[in-house]
């Protein structure tokens, strides 16, 4: 059974940095693209970033481009999201999600980790 | 970028009745080379993570009850719950994966009347 477990969400001040992690199990991690999707309190789902199976190619939403960096360590079955220059509008639950195919749907989701940006 | 718009924003349906949610994309999500619509539907129950229900616009994910069905092509899609159950109370999202950035609709909240 596929299991994705996010961690690293905390309360951080505006302008601060944070790294989220997503530990994957129950799948051949290195075979799949992965993504981060966020959900602000009481709001809908917003795609944040994706990374291909090898980690060579990365993609970002305009709202986080230049501030966030997605990466992965296939030897540790772990996905990361480095978040810099955080803003209040980055406050959200951050989900990691497995992508089916090179450009596909999100078939497995973690339980999410809450990032709060506030002074 | 492709924009996804769902309607209605919320609906209340009696138990056992049909619920219909619409999703419209600003551009076609049909790939002519394989004749597939790059459209998925998700269910998010209160306090839970999203769950995949349907992909390729009409293919039900394993384990999803057959009362859930998806239809449509091009720019107009529908998720139908044929006989609403109490456990179907949730927010439902459509999502296109035809083009980067992938985009979600704003969500439709389904409640019991």
CA B72 – CA A62 distance, rounded (Å): 29
Asked if the model's pLDDT at residue A103 lies above 80, the reply is no
CA B24 – CA B32 distance, rounded (Å): 18
Mean pLDDT for chain A overall: 97
Q: Strand pairing partners for A7?
A: A21
Average pLDDT for residues B57-67, to the nearest whole number? 97
Chain A, 2-61: which have a CB under 8 Å from a chain B CB? 35, 37, 44-47, 50, 59, 61
CA A36 – CA B24 distance, rounded (Å): 24
Average pLDDT for residues B102-112, to the nearest whole number? 98
For residue A16, the SS3 value is coil
Nearest in space to A79 (alpha carbons), one of A91, A67, A95, A96: A96
Structure tokens at A22: 């997503």
A35-69 pLDDT tens trace: 999 999 999 999 999 999 999 999 999 999 999 99
Residue of A nearest to B108 (CA): A44
Q: Which of B46, B54, B97, B106 to mutate against chain A (most A CBs within 10 Å)?
A: B97
CA B48 – CA B63 distance, rounded (Å): 17
Nearest in space to B108 (alpha carbons), one of B89, B86, B92, B84: B92
DSSP conformation class of B102: P
Asked if the model's pLDDT at residue A102 lies above 70, the reply is no
DSSP conformation class of B61: P
Structure tokens at B54: 């349907």
Residue A104 pLDDT grade (very low, low, confident, very high; cuts 50, 70, 90): confident
Q: Are A107 and B52 within 8 A, CB to CB?
A: yes
Say whether residue B49 is in contact with chain A using an 8 A CB cutoff: yes
Distance of CA A110 to the CA centre of its chain: 10
Nearest in space to B21 (alpha carbons), one of B65, B54, B56, B59: B54
- Could you write out the DSSP letters of every residue in B50-74? -EEEEETTTEEPTT--TTEEEEEET
């Amino acid at each position: 059974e596929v299991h994705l477990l996010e961690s690293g969400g905390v309360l951080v001040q505006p302008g601060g940095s944070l790294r989220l992690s997503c530990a994957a199990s129950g799948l051949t991690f290195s075979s799949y693209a992965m993504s981060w999707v966020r959900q602000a309190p009481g709001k809908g789902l917003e795609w944040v970033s994706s990374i291909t199976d090898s980690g060579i190619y990365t993609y970002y939403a305009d709202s986080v481009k230049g501030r966030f960096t997605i990466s992965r360590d296939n030897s540790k079955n772990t996905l990361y999201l480095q978040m810099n220059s955080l803003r209040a509008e980055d406050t959200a639950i951050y989900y990691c999600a497995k992508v089916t195919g090179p450009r596909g749907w999100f078939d497995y989701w973690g339980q999410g980790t809450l990032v709060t940006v506030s002074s | 970028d492709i924009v996804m718009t769902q309607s209605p924003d919320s609906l209340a349906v009696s138990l056992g009745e049909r619920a219909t949610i619409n999703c419209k994309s600003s551009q076609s999500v049909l790939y002519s080379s394989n004749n597939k619509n790059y459209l998925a539907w998700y269910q998010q129950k209160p306090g839970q993570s999203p769950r995949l229900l349907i992909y390729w616009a009409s293919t039900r994910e394993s384990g999803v009850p057959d009362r859930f069905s998806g239809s449509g092509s091009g720019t107009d899609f529908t998720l139908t719950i044929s006989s609403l159950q109490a456990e179907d109370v949730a927010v439902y999202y459509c999502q296109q994966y035809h083009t980067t950035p992938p985009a979600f609709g704003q969500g439709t909240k389904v409640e019991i009347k």
